[in-house]
Amino acid sequence: MVRSLQAVASAAAVLCAGLSNAQSTGYTSCDAIVDAGLGERLFLGTGATAANYSESILSYYSGTQREITPFCVFQPHSTEEVSLAVKALAPLSAAGKWNIAVRSAGHSVWNNNNIAQGITIDLRRINQTTVHNTTSCKGTAVASIGAGAQWGPALLEIEKYGLTMTAGRVGNVGVAGLTLGGGLSFHSGRRGLACDDVVNYEVVLADGSIVNANKTSNARLFKALKGGGSNFGIVTRFDFAAFPGGDIYGGTVFSTWDQKDAIVDSFQQVITDVAVRPSDSEILLFRWDPAAGGIMVGAMPVSTANNASSPMFKVFDDIPVIYSGIAHQTYGELAMATWDSGGQRNIWFSLCFHNDRRVIDKAEELMHGLISDTEAFIPDNSANLIWVFQPLAKAYGRNSANNVVGLDTTLTNDSIVWLGEAFCDTAMQEAFFQARLGAISAELEAYAISIGANTQWRYMNYVNPAQDPISSYGAENVEFIRDVANEYDPTGFFQTRVSGGFKISAL
């Protein structure tokens, strides 16, 4: 199916318009969009709109998502068109149950933003970034970003005004998905999570109404959206506090595996030092790619204060380096440099644990075991693995009383977010990694618990669908999310009709 879609896409020099507003599709949910006068935004997999349909499907990061083919794709250009679509799809007679998906950038690796037998709402045309030169939000400017935007282009736009923001770190990651899940950032040491810097959300609710949620209007919804995912409505615009920015210093660097201990030691020290150097951040990488020479160790050290003399860079001056992209550059330029086009199948599992070397060593041991198993199961060198370790210093939770992720109470120790990720080509290989990474995640979690080094929180943006991030927010936040979902979505539209994300009703 993917090859046929690619053929359609490459054959189309110009993408076609959508359907006529009088044309029947044969699918009830798709016809509901046509009947609402939105047919020109609707694309089918055949006929005149096939090129648009193919472009939407092939834009997903994960190969797994690219193999899911909805009946139709609806691509609104405005919040008002999203509102009309929700009103059209809300009646059960129009669409049925569990047959609506909503996507922004499409970076998720599992099927929470596409759907096989239904309609996918593709928000990527709502991607404008506008900077408001106001004095609101304690003297900062505000950057309004459409829900379909990706971080790289959004950052480059606000940097034209000498500003930056608490943003994602990879250019093709979506603004919406990262922020609704909390949002780790290179600025987290100084400002907390990305969601902490949102000053207003524009939201389409289950009845199709359009509301703004901020500290003074719909304040409970405002708080719930800060880490509560897709339980409440379709956010179409995020208004972020923007603040003065300029060049940062940092980038990606890789070295040989025999330098692992020195790099791990430096990484752990960066986490310990967040209290005194909040502008420093670093990502630790264990990467195995048999087609590129096997296992190597890497890092992504970044000083958002543009401090090339920060102690975290010293280790890379003292060891042999395979590759270094460390430089003075803007945040947006760094994000664009780490742009990953994806296309392979991806499997993710994630945990959090204390900044304890014993757990890192256990994760390394488990990775070597998986490498051996993978070499036996996939001998053609097509699969690869990456273990990603990211800081979760106590300072990151400083603003969490104003969000629902719970780090203000659960983050009692400087910690690490671990992401175990596999890349592969076939469904059988995906099933293999799903089972093996699930077992590895469980073993690593059990080990962390056994030595008193487990951190309760689970990062919504990294966990596997088999995991449960919302419960890790704490009982009070779970009940708050449930209450707000019931208040703003009393019919359960986003619980029973929209399939994506982690649902509060599933707890």
User: CATH 3.30.465.10 residue ranges in the chain?
Assistant: 129-245+471-506
Map residue 43 onto helix, strand or coil: strand
Report whether 73 contacts 122 (CB < 8 A): yes
Token reading at 277 = 């150097």
Report whether 389 contacts 353 (CB < 8 A): no
Q: Residue 89 phi/psi, 5° resolution?
A: -90, -15
pLDDT digits (tens, 9 = 90+) for 409-456: 999 999 999 999 999 999 999 999 999 999 999 999 999 999 999 999
Residue 2: predicted pLDDT: 35
Find the largest Cα–Cα distance for the chain. 69
b (16+ CB within 10 A) / e for 231-262: bbbbbbbbbbbbbebebbbbbbbbbeeebbeb
The mean pLDDT value for 277-287 works out to 98
Phi-psi domain of 202 (left: phi exceeds 0; alpha: psi -120 through 50; beta: other): beta
Residue 94's pLDDT band (cuts 50, 70, 90)? low
User: CATH 3.40.462.20 residue ranges in the chain?
Assistant: 248-466
The mean pLDDT value for 284-288 works out to 98
User: CATH 3.30.43.10 residue ranges in the chain?
Assistant: 28-122
The Cβ-side half-sphere exposure at 133, using a 13 Å CA radius, reads: 3
Token reading at 55 = 């472009």
Q: Residue 284 phi/psi, 5° resolution?
A: -100, 135
Residue 96's pLDDT band (cuts 50, 70, 90)? low
Whether residue 3 is predicted with pLDDT greater than 50 in this model: the reply is no
Residue 398: predicted pLDDT: 87
How far from 334 is each of 182, 204, 251, 303, 439, CA to CA, in Å? 21, 33, 7, 12, 34
Report whether 42 contacts 25 (CB < 8 A): yes
Q: Dihedral sign, CA of 53, 58, 62, 66?
A: positive
The mean pLDDT value for 96-125 works out to 90
For domain 28-122, the CATH class is alpha beta
**Which CATH number is 248-466's, of 3.10.20.740, 3.40.462.20, 3.40.50.1100, 1.10.3210.10?**
3.40.462.20
CATH code assigned to 129-245+471-506: 3.30.465.10
Helix (H) or strand (E) run with residue 154 in it:
helix 151-158
User: Any bridge partners for residue 289, and if so which?
Assistant: 294
Tokens 């990061």 appear where? 61
